[in-house]
Amino acid sequence: MKDHCGVKVFLILWITSLACVVPGMTTSAPLSTPTPDTRLEIMVAETVSVALQMTEQVKPVQTSSQTPTSIPTATQTAILATPTQSAESVWDTNADGDTAFTDLLGKYSLVVPRQWVTFRRNAPEFDIISTLPEAENPAIQRSLETIRSLDPNIFRLFALDMNEEHIESGFVTNINVLWDAQQEMSLADGTQLEKLGATLPDSMNGAKVLVTEIRPTKNNIPYGVIASQTPVVTLDGAQIILYQKQVFFDLPAGTLSITLSTTDKWRETVEPSFDAIVDSLLILE
C-alpha cells in the first residue's frame, strides 16, 4: 500500500496537519476561509481521516492462539480513582465503571459505558492508558499514536474498545467527540444534514451512505445522524468494511460531533453502547 503523506485537512480556521492521509481520501485545494457548509464538510472529513489512519497505518497484529477475553471491568475504573478537572472539562468514573464527562467550554455532558476505555488527549488518564497491558497490542499503540497527534481543543474525548477479540485485521473500534466552537449547524429540518451526507463519498472512495436523518434523544434533544459503510484494505492486505456513525448536536456554542468507527463485523456488538452515549447527552446552562 502507498501512503500519501503531506495531505492537509483544514479544520475550523486553522490547519491541522495529519501525519499521513491514507489511500481513499481525496484532496482539494486549500480553503483560506471556510464557509458554514464547507466547515461541516471539513468536520466530517477530519473524523473520516482519523478512522482511516487507524485502519491503514497499523502494523499487522499477530493473533493469539489463546481464546480472547473481554476487558475486565476494573480496567476503566483503575485508570484514575478520583475525578480530574481542568478549566476545560471534568472526567470521572462512577461506581459502575462508567465515565462521566463534562465539557465546561462546550457546555454539555455525556456518559460512556464501562466497556469503553475513555480518556482526554491532554489529561493524566491518557498517559496511564499507555501503560495498560492491553496497550501492548500494536494496533492499540498505533491508535494512541494517531490520537496523540490530534488537537485536544477540537477532539475533546476518545473511547477505545480494547477487547482483543474486537480488533479486526488491526483496526481498533473507537469513538471520538469533536467540538467546533465556531460552527452553527441547523437541525430545523434535514436539508443541511442531507447535503452534508452527500459529500461523504468525496471524502472517502467507495463510501455508501446508509442513513441521513434527524432523531431525538431520550431527553428530546434533536440530533442529526449520518451512517455509512466503506470497503477498506488494511496494511496486511485484509479487506474490511468500515462502518461509521456520526451524530451532530447544535449546541448553544458551536456544533458537537460524536463518531463511532468500527467494522461491519462488530457493528451490532458496539452500536447499542454508542447509542447510549448519544442518549445520555445533556446540554448545560
pLDDT digit string (tens) for 208-239? 999 999 999 999 999 999 999 999 887 667 88
pLDDT of residue 222: 96
State residue 204's pLDDT score.
78
Give residue 32's pLDDT: 41
The CATH superfamily assigned to 4-60+69-283 is Mog1/PsbP, alpha/beta/alpha sandwich (3.40.1000.10)
pLDDT digits (tens, 9 = 90+) for 242-284: 999 999 999 998 999 999 999 999 999 999 999 999 999 999 9
Q: Which of 71, 266, 44, 275 is closest to 172 using CA atoms? A: 266
Any idea where the domains of the chain sit in the sequence?
4-60+69-283
Mean pLDDT by 10 residues, the chain (285 residues): 28 23 33 48 57 47 34 44 63 90 96 95 89 90 89 93 91 93 86 88 85 95 95 81 94 93 95 98 93
Cβ burial of 179 (10 Å; 0-12, 13-18, 19+) is buried
pLDDT value at residue 259: 95
Of 197, 202, 223, the residue nearest 278 (C-alpha): 223
